[in-house]
Amino acid sequence: MLTLALETSSETISLALATAADRIHLIQTRTLPHAQAEQLFPALDALFRLAEQTPRNVQRIVVVTGPGSYTGLRNGLTVARTLAQLNNIPIMGVPTLTVLLARTQGCGLISPWLDIRRGEVYTGLVKKHWSRSQGLVLEVLAPPGIRSADAWIAELAARDEPITVVGEGNEAWRERLYEQSQWLEPLAANHLAAAGGTLALLAYHPEAAGTPLTWSDYREVMPLYPDRPVAKERSEAK
The rounded distance, in Å, linking the Cα atoms of 193 and 200 is: 12
Asked if residue 153 lies in contact with residue 174, where contact means CB atoms within 8 angstroms, the answer is no
Residues 197 and 187 in one domain: no
Structure confidence by residue, pLDDT tens digits, 54-110: 999 999 999 999 998 888 999 999 999 999 999 999 999 999 999 999 999 888 999
Residue bearing the bigger pLDDT, 30 or 162 = 162
User: What pLDDT score was predicted for residue 174?
Assistant: 79
User: What pLDDT score was predicted for residue 232?
Assistant: 39
Residues 199 and 184 in one domain: no
- CATH code, 226: 3.30.420.40
Residues 208 and 175 in one domain: no
Residues 91 and 156 in one domain: no
Instruction: Tell me which residue range forms the domain holding 140.
Output: 105-191
HSE-up of 193 (CA within 13 Å, CB side)?
Answer: 16
User: What pLDDT score was predicted for residue 237?
Assistant: 41
Q: Read off φ and ψ for residue 174, nearest 5 degrees.
A: -55, -50
Structure confidence by residue, pLDDT tens digits, 116-142: 888 899 999 999 988 877 778 889 999
pLDDT-derived band at 169 (thresholds 50, 70, 90) equals: low
Sheet strands (E) in 68-107: 91-95
Q: Does residue 23 lie in a domain region?
A: yes
Residues 226 and 186 in one domain: no
Asked if residue 115 lies in contact with residue 172, where contact means CB atoms within 8 angstroms, the answer is yes
Q: Does residue 68 lie in a domain region?
A: yes
Neighbours of 118 (CB within 10 A): 9
Structure confidence by residue, pLDDT tens digits, 6-42: 999 988 899 999 999 889 999 999 887 667 778 999 9
Asked if residue 203 lies in contact with residue 180, where contact means CB atoms within 8 angstroms, the answer is no
Structure confidence by residue, pLDDT tens digits, 178-230: 888 889 998 888 888 899 999 999 999 998 888 889 999 999 999 998 754 34
Tally of structural domains, the chain: 2
Residues 166 and 206 in one domain: no
Residues 120 and 181 in one domain: yes
The rounded distance, in Å, linking the Cα atoms of 66 and 73 is: 7
Q: Does residue 48 lie in a domain region?
A: yes
Q: Does residue 238 lie in a domain region?
A: no
Residues 160 and 50 in one domain: no
In sequence order, the 6+-apart residues with CB closer than 8 A to the CB of 108 are: 127, 128, 129, 162, 163, 164
Residues 170 and 220 in one domain: no
135-148/120-131 β-pairing: antiparallel
Residues 147 and 79 in one domain: no
Residues 44 and 65 in one domain: yes
Residues 16 and 51 in one domain: yes
